[in-house]
């Protein structure tokens, strides 16, 4: 077939309607570049009631929704349809795929997915890998042929094996997310990620590392393997690897907590446009981890990620407006950013909505609404939400006062690492407020919370040294803890 008749075949996508939903399924791409992703922290800045802790959300690899209709024809053929058909009938595999493209898109002929499938199948049966992938995709979508996931997997796997590591990684994504291969299958997805990674594909390495970082149904979390593969990907400049490696250093997962390393990798990924890294980098600037505290820069990074729809960053950016952190205070803007994230299910944003209604920040005070928002967060297992519900029970805000329930919820949140729950319990043990007085436990919990940056716990320690409760009376140490409580956090 003359070179002028050959159309470049680089990407294959499928887009169609099923049950009224728009379905965009990435099938494979020989030349496809990497797609950055990461797990994210969620943090929020609260008054005395709620405090900040990063929290991981576990999710499979995020892949962007991509178009166009499958398979694309980059330019109209520079040959007649008759010439193309002659070459296809003579067995030219590229001509067969291009003729299939014409029928699949209605380019120069009447749209006919069935005929499109027949031409693709002819090329696939000659072991032409791109056609094998398309045939698998059409079986999986039920386009031009009856829906058959077993045939879809068979053709996709055969094609991906011939196309190599990049295509193998893309097939791994299909298995992890489900769709044209049937229900999600994390174990099968992991096998294809591993093939891709062992074949030298850097994005495959990042995907495999993220796979072990998150775990999932039938797949145990393995921080050692996650760290290994994410580091290899990060060293090759893949932002997904950099972002998740930075996250592991930030949380101390599979390695000692190292904010300097976390900052280095997160900044590199963030500067490449990785949205989750941008949000996490904002958190590091906000808290002065791995870098000097810089509320203005933190706000800027939160804004970057928020503007492209990252829910935790929308909450954090709104929180900047709520507190006037790194810029002006503006309750209307705070609500503008926080409310959509809360309604979309982000627990941190739901806690911030509870604060907005509980304190009447730009809205009419509504303790019942505040309790409802805290409960929504708590129902997701969020430590801040659990503590917030407990606080509502303690003070009878939006719900009947119930000290027993309050203590139980505080203890549950404290066991999950919620700093405010730990510091609040410390004060309660010191005063015998709702619990038996226990100055030893009060001291232990106050020191724990103070070490995590709680000014409320630092005030408790100042009181204990001032009054000589649980510790020898020491005005100097009392003054030191009081100064810490009033200092920057």
**Domains of the chain: which residue ranges?**
419-489
Which sign, positive or negative, has the C-alpha torsion 224, 226, 232, 235?
Answer: negative
What's the pTM?
0.79
pLDDT of residue 79: 72
Cα(249)–Cα(268) distance, rounded to whole angstroms?
A: 14
Residue 16 DSSP code:
E
Burial of 7 (0-12, 13-18, 19+ CB in 10 A): buried
Q: How many CA atoms within 13 Å lie on the side-chain side of 165? A: 16
SS3 203: helix
- Of the candidate CATH numbers 1.25.40.10, 3.20.20.80, 3.40.50.720, 1.20.1250.20, the domain formed by 419-489 belongs to 1.25.40.10
Roughly what angle, to the nearest 10 degrees, separates helices 475-486 and 455-467? 160
Stretch (H or E) spanning 303: helix 295-306
SS3 318: helix
DSSP string for residues in 437-480: --HHHHHHHHHHHHHTT-HHHHHHHHHHHHHTSSS---HHHHHH
Query: 416: how many CB neighbours lie within 10 A of its CB?
Result: 17
pLDDT of residue 78: 64
Residue 212 DSSP code:
H
Q: How many CA atoms within 13 Å lie on the side-chain side of 327? A: 19
Residue 240 — φ and ψ, nearest 5°? -60, -45
Q: What Cα–Cα distance (Å) separates residue 16 from each residue in 11, 111, 113, 152, 181? A: 17, 14, 12, 16, 15
pLDDT of residue 38: 27
Cα(485)–Cα(100) distance, rounded to whole angstroms?
A: 71
Residue 392 — φ and ψ, nearest 5°? -60, -40
One digit per residue, pLDDT tens: the chain, 489 residues?
A: 333 333 333 333 333 323 222 223 334 333 222 222 222 233 332 222 222 222 222 233 333 333 323 444 444 446 788 999 999 999 999 999 999 999 999 988 999 999 999 999 999 999 999 999 999 999 999 999 999 999 999 999 999 999 999 999 999 999 999 988 999 999 999 999 999 999 999 999 999 999 999 998 889 999 999 999 999 999 999 999 999 999 999 999 999 999 999 999 999 999 999 999 999 999 999 999 999 999 999 999 999 999 999 999 999 999 999 999 999 999 999 999 999 999 999 999 999 999 999 999 999 999 999 999 999 999 999 999 999 999 999 999 999 999 999 999 999 999 999 999 999 999 999 999 999 999 999 999 999 999 988 999 999 999 999 999 999 999 999 999 999 998 876
172: left (phi over 0), alpha (psi -120 to 50) or beta: alpha
Report the chain's C-alpha Rg in angstroms: 28
Closest CA to 38 of 246, 216, 223: 246
Cα(477)–Cα(466) distance, rounded to whole angstroms?
A: 8
Stretch (H or E) spanning 28: strand 21-29
pLDDT of residue 489: 64
Residue 22 DSSP code:
E
SS3 381: coil
Cβ neighbours of residue 193 closer than 8 Å, sequence gap 6 or more: 169, 172, 204, 207, 208, 211
């Amino acid at each position: 077939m003359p070179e002028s008749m050959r159309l470049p075949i680089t990407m294959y996508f499928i887009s169609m309607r099923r049950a009224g939903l728009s379905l965009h399924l990435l099938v494979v791409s020989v030349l496809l570049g990497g797609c950055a992703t990461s797990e994210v922290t969620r943090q929020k800045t609260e008054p005395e009631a709620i405090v900040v802790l990063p929290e991981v959300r576990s999710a499979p690899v995020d892949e962007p929704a991509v178009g166009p209709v499958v398979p694309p024809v980059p330019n109209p053929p520079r040959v007649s349809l008759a010439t193309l058909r002659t070459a296809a009938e003579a067995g030219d595999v590229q001509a067969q795929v291009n003729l299939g493209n014409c029928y699949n898109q209605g380019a120069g002929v009447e749209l006919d997915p069935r005929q499109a499938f027949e031409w693709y199948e002819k090329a696939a049966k000659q072991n032409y890998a791109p056609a094998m992938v398309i045939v698998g995709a059409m079986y999986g979508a039920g386009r031009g042929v009856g829906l058959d996931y077993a045939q879809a997997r068979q053709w996709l796997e055969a094609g991906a094996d011939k196309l190599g590591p990049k295509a193998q990684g893309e097939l791994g994504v299909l298995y992890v997310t489900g769709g044209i291969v049937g229900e999600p299958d994390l174990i099968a997805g992991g096998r294809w990620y591993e093939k891709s990674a062992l074949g030298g594909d850097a994005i495959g390495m990042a995907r495999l590392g993220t796979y072990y970082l998150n775990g999932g149904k039938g797949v145990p979390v393995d921080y050692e393997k996650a760290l290994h593969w994410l580091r290899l990907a990060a060293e090759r400049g893949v932002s997904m690897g950099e972002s998740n490696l930075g996250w592991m250093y930030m949380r101390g997962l599979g390695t000692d907590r190292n904010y300097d390393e976390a900052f280095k990798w997160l900044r590199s990924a963030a500067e490449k446009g990785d949205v989750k890294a941008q949000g996490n980098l904002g958190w590091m600037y906000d808290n002065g981890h791995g870098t000097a505290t810089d509320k203005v820069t933190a706000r800027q990074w939160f804004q970057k990620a928020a503007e492209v729809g990252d829910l935790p960053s929308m909450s954090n950016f709104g929180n900047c407006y709520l507190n006037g952190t790194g810029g002006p205070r503006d309750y209307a803007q705070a609500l503008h950013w926080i409310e959509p994230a809360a309604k979309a299910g982000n627990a941190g944003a739901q806690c911030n909505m509870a604060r907005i209604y509980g304190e009447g920040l730009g809205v009419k005070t509504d303790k019942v609404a505040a309790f409802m928002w805290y409960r929504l967060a708590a129902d997701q297992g969020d430590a801040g939400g659990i503590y917030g519900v407990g606080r509502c029970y303690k003070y009878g805000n939006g719900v009947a006062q119930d000290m027993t329930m309050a203590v139980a919820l505080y203890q549950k949140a404290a066991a999950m690492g919620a700093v405010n729950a730990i510091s609040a319990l410390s004060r309660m043990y010191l005063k015998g407020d709702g619990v038996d007085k226990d100055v030893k436990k009060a001291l232990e919990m106050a020191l724990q919370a103070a070490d995590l940056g709680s000014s409320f716990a630092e005030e408790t320690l100042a009181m204990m040294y001032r009054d000589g409760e649980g510790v020898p009376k020491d005005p100097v140490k009392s003054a030191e803890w009081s100064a810490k409580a009033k200092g920057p956090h």
